[in-house]
Structure 1
Amino acid sequence: MEGQNNTKDEAKSCLKPQVAVVVVPFPAQGHLNQLLHLSNLITSYGLPVHYAGSASHNRQAKLRLHGWDSQSSSKVHFHDFQLPPYSSPPPNPDPSIQFPAHLQPLFDTSLHLRQPVNQLLHQLSTNFRRIIVIHDCLMASVVQDVKLIPNAEAYAFIPISAFTSFFNSWDRIPDKPFQLDSDIPKCIPSTDGCSTQEIANFIANQRKCLGFESGRLYNTSMVIEGRYIELLKKLSKKSEIKHFAVGPLNPVEIENKSEKQQHMCLKWLDKQMKDSVIYVSFGSTTTMTDEQIMELATGLEKSEQKFIWVLRRADIGDVFKGGEDRKPQLPEGYEERMEDRGMVVREWAPQLEILAHPSIGGYMSHCGWNSCMESISIGVPMAAWPMHSDQPKNAILVTEVLRIGTLVRDWTQHAELVMSTTIENALRRLMASKEGEEMRKRAAELGDVVRASVAKGGASRLEIDSFISYITRC
């Protein structure tokens, strides 16, 4: 690995005042979060980081960040740009396509950041010997002018798993350039129902703008997905593009907060037995139908498992603006009946702290990549219930490749209602069976390996050290 012998301290001392990093996130929670984690990580090497996004989404990213001390993000320079007005409709739960189509106006409007970002890059380029632009791959058109700045380099950030990224690319190639090993999963979920045509067109247009980048960064670790990173390198048309697996980006050692600072659900977890609680959360872009919520509530009740259930509607384009605030409805008297066995949280929850709590024994998840990496790095097995986007392929990675989880439903039935009996069976399998206990053991062992990878000399630390050494090279 190029530069892997450079230590973190050496990277800090090598021309650090002469290199500035500009981070350009895509304005959806899972993307904002990963790149703010990365920004904090890079500042720990003494490099200045400029986080360039809309004012409201920068605020959202800072407000929802967990796992870092308050001083970390204070070292990041936030550039709060204004977006033109855009519609911010409420989510429309659709059982056939659960992709958050209501966010499309935001995604389209975010492309207007091209001009202010370009101005920022030109301004910084006069003050630093080299400008490093790390952009979400879905913001490629916003930063495309970087190729016109002589002392700037771009690095595309891949916010999904290497497994999903590889198969997304593989599926687009009609004449396969090589054969895959026989033990690589063959039944990869189709993209049917994963997204709308509008977002598919948006992604295709961003992909057309790629090609100017010097490298790609992945929020994954070689100890998790090294095989698929190597396949992506093999598939790349440009051998000079560098690939860095710098994850997990989320902190892996979560400090306990004082009782006054603790979220109420953590106080409740303190009273529960080890590995006895299932955490249920479907991320920031999922809205279930009322009927599906009722089935889930019934499944949780019938399973007789203790639970923390984060029950929220999906984010709207600007989470700080008003709008429809219709709370998801539960069966009458449900929360009173479940008072001793479960807790329903209707607000943003500190997911990292919840997953790291000793009482958590499993996670029922939509399998967004943020959530997968957090669960994997902490060592919590998953009940995989994918909803859209990259989630169906991530679910296969978790259940078939890493073998640290169980599928709640097969993607071929994605448009169908998931019945309470199916949910009950999945919960019992994960939380109260020998099979689930084996998953929990494998998850804990993988978590240990992943946490070791970010320590000095570990695979992920070497990757980020190598990246920092490369961008600060003389």
Structure 2
Amino acid sequence: MEGQNNSQVAVVMVPFPAQGHLNQLLHLSHLVISYGIPVHYAGSTMHNHQAKVRVQGWDTESLTKIQFHDFQLPPYTSPPPKPDLSVPFPAHLQPLFDISTHLRKPVSELLEQLSAKCRRIIVVHDSLMASVVQDVKFIPMAESFRFVSIPAFSQFFSFWEAIPESDKPFQIDPSITIPRCIPFGEGMITPEASRLAADQMKFWGFESGRIYNTSRVIDGPYVELLEKLSGNDSETKHFVLGPFNPVEMTGSRKTHRCLEWLNEHEKGSVIYVSFGTTTSLTEEQIGELATGLEKSGQKFIWVLRNADKGDAFDSAKDGYPKLLEGYEERVKERGIVIQEWAPQLGILAHRSIGGFMSHCGWNSCIESISMGVPIAAWPMHSDQPTNAVFITEVLRIGVMVRDWEDSGKLISSATIENVIKTLMKTKEGEEMRKRASELGDDVRKSVAKGGATSIEMDAFIAHITR
């Protein structure tokens, strides 16, 4: 079906304004345009720019085929505060999240314009942007699909745990793995973020289906549980189309210095350390991590950045996190510290990478899985603690840095050293690496022509162009 002319059908992507969400729907946009279908990516001017600058794995020509619609957000009532390092959740971004609901009017106007010249409009919206696209139900021949930005495992159990035991509609088959302790609730998000999510859930229900950035190879049983939880709602389609990110790095992007550094090291010898775009570590925790990396004797690439502010490109203006004096000089033979945006997909795809110490945002998890790299799980907030359990206890391709119940405590250099050695230098770690490699192979086969994910993607395209 690739390359067919579907110009009478237009797809409109409406992402949530946080990097992990922006990135996933921009990856999906590239997949959809490969079928010859126009894609409109609708967001604020600032966030569209952020998404384009940071996307990896696609050539420049592919990016130019996507039509970006840059909308203005209302001004903040006050300047967004700097990150509060005592709060793991990025509460400093809450004003931005709140005003994102004001995109309803420009998005609605865009849909009206497209409806005048298209046979069908398909709106793919983030779960947290449902109120913004609610007017789709008033447009003839338009339908929407709710994008689920976390694994089916985490989505299912967030719903399941909220249902009283007496009201659960079915029993889970005992053959399906249910970890002993799945973290939910206090400490994962702020009350303000919880209210935003609850407000958006009120607008769920008018969509034609759901789209997942995961693979049935990865968490098929939990997708099936979500389908079963939909009950008699047979009209709701579930399309499992991930990973959206490229699984082979062929994009014509400039080579980063860290990739050149990796070329000098043997296969599987380097651990990659990065905690995403919404986490800032305290100075004390940075010191413990630096010491743990040094004492482990392991080669490493460490991305050490401040959390994104409201404007991600302003983050560096407050300076960079401080390292111990003389640290980079001491470790220069086997370690490199990066304090700018790093090409994560390229790093994870490199043969020299043998492990990933990660916050377990789903973007990072599925990229790591795609490349067959095991994870040292250090979750910070939101879905990350649940994703970490999925990685370590269900898929068994990683080790936990610390249990979520200890999330408020400083993690010592000794603990970090031991985790790195476990993942990179023990028999247990070798088994994790083997499982991760095998899962990565299966995922890459699934997205190849004729694979299960490729067939499901064809089915989605056939559905929206019917």
TM-score by length of 1: 0.95
In the alignment, is residue 105 of structure 1 matched against residue 99 of structure 2? no
From 109, 130, 134, the counterpart of 2:124: 134
Aligned to 2:85: 93
1:345 corresponds to which letter in structure 2? I
CA offset digits 1:374-403 (Å, max 9, x no partner): 000110000000000000111011111111
Aligned to 1:3: none
CA gap 1:322/1:221 in 2 versus in 1, 3 angstroms: closer
Q: Distance in 2 between matches of 1:460 and 1:60?
A: 28
Aligned to 1:27: 17
Structure 2 SS opposite 1:210: coil
Q: CA deviation at 1:257?
A: 6.0
Superposed counterparts of 1:367-406, under 5 Å: 367-406=360-399
In the alignment, is residue 178 of structure 1 matched against residue 173 of structure 2? no
Which segment drifts farther, 247-256 or 224-233? 247-256
In the alignment, is residue 246 of structure 1 matched against residue 241 of structure 2? yes
Aligned to 1:4: none
Which segment drifts farther, 174-183 or 64-73? 174-183
Considering only aligned residues, what root-mean-square deviation do their CA atoms show, in Å? 1.3
Q: Distance in 2 between matches of 1:275 and 1:186?
A: 32
Give the number of the structure with larger relative contact order, counting CA–CA contacts within 8 Å between residues 6 or more apart. Answer: 1
Q: Distance in 1 between matches of 2:69 and 2:241?
A: 24
Q: Distance in 1 between matches of 2:127 and 2:354?
A: 34
Q: Distance in 1 between matches of 2:212 and 2:180?
A: 23
1:215 corresponds to which letter in structure 2? G
Does structure 2 retain, via aligned residues, the 8 Å contact 1:132–1:153?
yes
2:307 corresponds to which letter in structure 1? A
Q: Distance in 2 between matches of 1:349 and 1:46?
A: 31
Superposed counterparts of 1:189-228, under 5 Å: 189-228=183-222
Structure 1 SS opposite 2:318: coil
Does structure 2 retain, via aligned residues, the 8 Å contact 1:233–1:239?
no
In the alignment, is residue 230 of structure 1 matched against residue 224 of structure 2? yes
In the alignment, is residue 169 of structure 1 matched against residue 169 of structure 2? no
TM-score by length of 2: 0.97
Does structure 1 retain, via aligned residues, the 8 Å contact 2:56–2:251?
no
Q: Distance in 1 between matches of 2:353 and 2:160?
A: 36
Does structure 2 retain, via aligned residues, the 8 Å contact 1:90–1:324?
no
Does structure 2 retain, via aligned residues, the 8 Å contact 1:223–1:450?
yes
Structure 1 SS opposite 2:40: strand
Aligned to 1:293: 286
CA offset digits 1:396-418 (Å, max 9, x no partner): 11111111100000001111111
From 307, 311, 319, the counterpart of 2:304: 311
Q: Distance in 2 between matches of 1:88 and 1:168?
A: 30
In the alignment, is residue 279 of structure 1 matched against residue 254 of structure 2? no
Aligned to 1:353: 346
In the alignment, is residue 188 of structure 1 matched against residue 182 of structure 2? yes
CA offset digits 1:164-211 (Å, max 9, x no partner): 000111111112111223332231112221000000000000001110
Percentage of identical aligned residues: 65
Q: Distance in 2 between matches of 1:65 and 1:286?
A: 19
From 262, 267, 274, the counterpart of 2:260: 267
Q: CA deviation at 1:150?
A: 1.4
1:472 corresponds to which letter in structure 2? T
Count of matched residue pairs: 459
Aligned to 1:69: 59
Gaps of 5+ in 2: none
Does structure 1 retain, via aligned residues, the 8 Å contact 2:306–2:316?
no
Structure 1 SS opposite 2:455: helix
Does structure 1 retain, via aligned residues, the 8 Å contact 2:22–2:51?
yes
CA gap 1:306/1:256 in 2 versus in 1, 3 angstroms: farther
Q: Distance in 2 between matches of 1:331 and 1:323?
A: 19
Aligned to 2:333: 340
Structure 2 SS opposite 1:114: helix
Q: Distance in 1 between matches of 2:8 and 2:252?
A: 37
Aligned to 1:444: 437
Q: CA deviation at 1:368?
A: 0.3
In the alignment, is residue 40 of structure 1 matched against residue 30 of structure 2? yes
Q: Distance in 2 between matches of 1:126 and 1:257?
A: 37
Q: CA deviation at 1:256?
A: 7.8
Gaps of 5+ in 1: 1-7
Q: Distance in 2 between matches of 1:124 and 1:35?
A: 20
